[in-house]
Structure 1
Amino acid sequence: MNIVYHNTANFFNATKYSRLSREAGALLHEEFALNCYVKLPFFFNDDSFAILKAEILRIFEQHSRRRDFNMKHEQNTPRHLSTVSGVAVAEDSQLIPALYRDSQLIEFLCGIAGTQVYLVPDPFDRHVIHRLDKIGDVHGGHLDTYAFAFAIFIETPPEEAGGCLEFVPHSMEISDLDTPFAKRVGHNIGDCYFMKTNKSVHRVLPLSEEVKRTNLIFTYADDETINIDISYSSQPLYG
């Protein structure tokens, strides 16, 4: 059932994130400027996260498509995962697009980024679902078209099963992955992160077990990317 829920203001964890504002986000700007990444654990309150998780899984089961290819635009790095496009999400959910546009969330992200954050023009790339669940599933090294990603984890593999995020702050070179410059971060269910994804090369490492790594990803633009109509990865990943 499509959840009719327009007011997302009460979705956030008021204990840990008492007020989402530009000023609150700015407290994390120094860390973000250094690493192009900040982790946001327990970002949603428990009841709201349960609603959001159910909505994501419902949409995934109805609309996901398997993708197995190499991305020519990114040195033929591999893509082995299942996805749901932003268009499919928008057609079947009121909750997720409302959360994507939530003014408190956007103001908070503006504070972290230290710049204005915009909704992206490409409807396929705005709010997408990714799942890795087979041995060898991987989202290979790449940079994104738009400036920022806000990711919400609803299913995560155990640490020993692979699937962690690897990234190199301020590097646009795929060859810097799997070097001492790279950072690797695991995530738990309920974690979120905010990342500068067009100036920090990144990938999801392969799964070594049949476990699920499922997240909802919000894509946002900055002043430099707001006028890009279509992401290079839209059609291969979501078309």
Structure 2
Amino acid sequence: MKLLFVEDEPILLERMISYFAGVGCICEQAKNFDQAVVKINSHKYDGIVLDIGLPDGSGMDLIPEIKLSQSGTGIVIISANASLADKVDGLNLGADDYLTKPFYLEELNARINALYRRKTLKGDDVITFDDFAINIDARELYYNDSLIRLTKKEFELLIYFVTNKNRLVGKISIAEHIWGDSYSNADNFDAIYVHLVNLRKKLMQASGNDYIKTIWGMGYKFIG
């Protein structure tokens, strides 16, 4: 899961990124309104955690921008202001949830996971294709009840392909989703190929089918 944290409090920002990176998320940050605008218009995210009290603008004004550029992204507002009016305004603008500071990171994690399942995974805890089953919580792949061991990157790559099934995806979009801000490093494109080859090999060894098709000069397509 790829997340953007828009927060100007350094300690809270560091705690959130450390926690969510520790549970396997790709984390990016914006410390003010202007940085957030650049991020939102340049990258795609599965979820955005948005502080509305930013030093150079209101996070509320970012919500229409997010809905316009990436309508399927879950938005969780975090704010020190517990007023009902702010909650209603944020939800009416298109936010999905509202959490008042201070909060437990475990609660934020639960809310983000719930949004991710609802928006990206269509409410599923387990995704299936043919005789494969992907357990989202356990981060495990099974073929006819037999466990197929995947690395962290292979699992993330599989989820990205499955949730974009039958769509053409380019190397840059894959790298950005898997590596976040560092995707522009040329080595990541070589790494994509390595992880993709290994994932393709494991799927083929289990089923005999090649689900990942190369579209020469354009990218890849997952047929499942």
Q: What band does the TM-score fall into relative to the shorter chain?
A: under 0.3
Higher relative contact order (CA 8 A, sep 6+): 1
TM-score, normalised on structure 2?
0.26
Higher helix share: 2
TM-score (norm: length of structure 1) = 0.25
